[in-house]
Amino acid sequence: MKNIKIIITTFLTLVFLMSSCSPDTYSLDAVTDKSDIDFEIKQDFAVDPGGNTVILTNKTPGVVLTWDYGTGKSNKATETVKYAFKGNYTIKIKAVTGGGIVELDPYTVTVTQDNLSYVDDPLWNLLTGGVGKSKTWVLDLNADGISKYFIGPMYYYGTDNAWFEGGDKGCYGTDCWSWLPEWKGNQWIAAKGDYGTMTFSLDGGPFLTTNHLMSPKYGQESGTYFLDANAKTLTTSNATILHPNENENCVDNWQSMKIMSLTENTLQVGVLRKTSCESAATFVFNFISKEYSDNWVPKDVPDPNPAIDLNGGTVDDLLATTTTTTKTWTLSKDSPFNWTDLTGAFLNPWNTVGDYPGWAGYTAADQASVIKNKISFSDNGTIKTVDSNGVEKSGTYTTSTDGTNIITFSGISPSFPIGNSSSTVSTTADNKWKIVKTAKTGNVVTDIWFGKRDPNKSEYMVFHFVLSN
């Protein structure tokens, strides 16, 4: 009998535990009937006799309405739309409810008069050519791999970068940075090719037509757009801006953009990159007007000559002329290498060994060997080098007389290891250096940055030497 009681008790306990551990039953809210969603669409005839101003109001708590009003989209509880052109406009409305998305009946408003003051702004004119006109834009990269105005078809900025005003870099928060890659040295950012055209029109309405020659997914599109001249934003509907396929899956919304800059010949717009694609950032696409592109003529523009301090003398004086007719220069242990643009501006803030990031491969442990790298110039045109491994070489050099500050070597190609870094001191393919920067201590030039011109990018790798005698 005792055993029977134990079995029964155990059985009841298991039943209780099973019932207590049963999962809760969940269910979605019932789908909201569209008749239960309260909203208002009202034309303000007091502001515009033609009914150009339309106020969209969501009056249903807990429900988000998405308004697609033809020239743009919004999910604001109250949105004011201003139609510049007369015509019939169909407003499509979707309600996001706890039970799912409910598509409401479209609503049509009739605008009986033009109000062109809504598009009478310098930005509208720059984008379209003005009322009654249209303007066609192309991505600044063609099938020959040429960018005609910018140095590439796209740049990268922080999420808080926006409209560039004057000399301002357009920083409106804390996440502000920029990387402006030259396409020639970074061809992975976009395939070269004819990307097609996009045309912004103000002929009878704000119409946008695009012809995506590099993106069959989009093909030819016809839609509308809205330019908010105050907020410096651009939204499109049923048409998408031209862009490289490489970025296709890294943007959630290709129809909502920040205008970064806009001139007669250039247009830069930014879209947000998804956090899942490395990190959040602003992709900025660089466009030029088709008229500018069609009339562009390549110019053989020589590299600029950075302003350097020769201490009142010549390059020869700087390199060699002293009382002993020879000067010896030692590779800097603090900042032996860097990169500059063609004007001589440093591209990295590296002033001490501690400033070098891990990828640069230069550490304090390398300093003892780096200072063993020396180069000696003599005023008779001879040169001698000794590297950190004790290898000695000699040759000759000549300097330019045209103000370009070029040094050409013969019989020797100066080269030095930079510690354990993968970077090395070397010359260009035609065995030359350019003096890109100098620095003085008192009245004496004690620092020289010899530049090696990159064959693809508009930059120099520079090697920092200090006077040692």
Q: How do the domains of the chain map onto residue ranges?
A: 34-114, 120-295, 315-467
| CA dihedral of residues 146, 149, 152, 155 (deg, nearest 10) | -170
Tell me the per-residue pLDDT of 139-194, one tens digit each, with 9 for 90 and over.
999 999 999 999 999 999 999 999 987 556 789 999 999 999 999 889 999 999 99
- Which pLDDT tens digit goes with each residue over 407-460? 999 999 999 999 888 889 999 999 999 999 999 998 889 999 999 999 888 899
pTM of the model: 0.66
Question: With 80 as the cut, is the pLDDT of residue 32 above it?
Answer: no
pLDDT at 106 over 50: yes
**What's the pLDDT score for residue 260?**
96
Q: How crowded is residue 17: how many other Cβ atoms within 10 Å of its Cβ? A: 10
Given a cut of 90, is residue 263 above it in pLDDT?
yes
Q: Are 374 and 468 in contact (CB under 8 A)?
A: yes
Backbone angles phi, psi at 430, to 5 degrees: -100, 20
Assess whether the region 34-114 and the region 120-295 belong to the same CATH fold. Answer: no
Choose between 373 and 72: higher pLDDT: 373
As a 3-state breakdown, the chain gives helix, strand, coil percent values, each rounded to 5, of 15, 35, 50
Distance, in Å, from the CA atom of 90 to the CA atom of 75, rounded to the nearest integer, reads 16
Q: What angle do CA 167, 169, 175 make, to 5 degrees?
A: 160
Residue 1 predicted with pLDDT over 50: no
Mean local confidence (pLDDT), 201-206: 92
Q: For the chain, what's the residue count?
A: 469
pLDDT confidence of residue 167? 53
* C-alpha distance from residue 162 to each of 107, 248, 261, 266 (Å): 35, 21, 9, 16
For residues 370 and 418, the answer to whether their CB atoms sit within 8 Å is yes
pLDDT confidence of residue 409: 98
User: Please, what is the average pLDDT of the chain?
Assistant: 89
Q: What does R_g of the chain's alpha carbons equal in angstroms?
A: 33
Q: For the domain with range 34-114, which CATH number is right: 3.30.300.30, 3.30.360.10, 2.30.30.280, 2.60.40.10?
A: 2.60.40.10
Residue 10 confidence (pLDDT) above 80: no
pLDDT band at 110 (very low <50, low <70, confident <90, very high): very high
Percent of the chain with pLDDT over 90: 71
Kindly state the average pLDDT of the residues 113-131.
Answer: 92
304-324 tens-digit pLDDT: 888 888 877 888 888 887 666
Residue 131 confidence (pLDDT) above 50: yes
Sheet containing 78-82: order of strands:
39-43, 53-58, 78-82
Residue 12 has pLDDT above 70, yes or no: no
Q: Give the model's pLDDT for residue 70.
A: 81
- How high is the pLDDT of residue 450? 98
pLDDT at 126: 97
For range 246-269, the mean pLDDT: 95
Alpha-carbon gap, residue 213 to 111, rounded angstroms: 36
Strand partners, 340: 346, 460
Question: Which two tokens mark 180?
Answer: 């402006």
At 319 the pLDDT is 87
pLDDT at site 166: 57
Please say whether the beta carbons of 307 and 365 come within 8 A: no
Give the class (CATH, top level) of 120-295: mainly beta
Q: Is the pLDDT of residue 6 over 60?
A: no
Apex CA 365: angle with CA 360 and CA 369, to 5°? 95
> Considering the chain, what percentage of its residues have pLDDT values greater than 70?
92
Neighbours of 28 (CB within 10 A): 8
Burial of residue 212, with CB atoms counted within 10 A of its CB: 0-12 exposed, 13-18 middle, 19 or more buried: buried
pLDDT at 355: 95
Q: What's residue 18's pLDDT?
A: 46
Residue 239 pLDDT > 70: yes
CATH number listed for the domain at residues 315-467: 2.40.128
Q: Is 90 helix (H, G, I), strand (E, B) or coil?
A: strand
pLDDT in tens, 39-69: 999 999 999 999 999 999 999 998 999 998 9
Q: Tell me what pLDDT residue 113 has.
A: 92
Contact 34, 102 (CB under 8 A): yes
- Tell me if 453 sits within 8 A of 303, measured CB to CB: yes
pLDDT at 111: 94
Residue 324 confidence (pLDDT): 67
Give strand pairing partners of 330. 374, 466
Q: What's the farthest any 2 CA atoms get from each other in the chain?
A: 120
- Collapsed DSSP state (helix, strand, coil) of residue 101: strand
Predicted confidence (pLDDT) at residue 285 exceeds the cutoff of 50: yes
Across 287-296, average pLDDT = 97
Out of 37-41, 250-254, 285-289, 418-422, give the one with best mean pLDDT. Answer: 285-289
| Residue whose pair of structure tokens reads 């535990």 in the numeric block | 17
Residues 6+ apart with CB under 8 A from 174: 160
Residues paired with 397 in a beta bridge: 409
- Residues 6+ positions from 399 with CB-CB distance below 8 Å: 314, 315, 316, 319, 405, 406, 407, 408
pLDDT attached to residue 25: 44
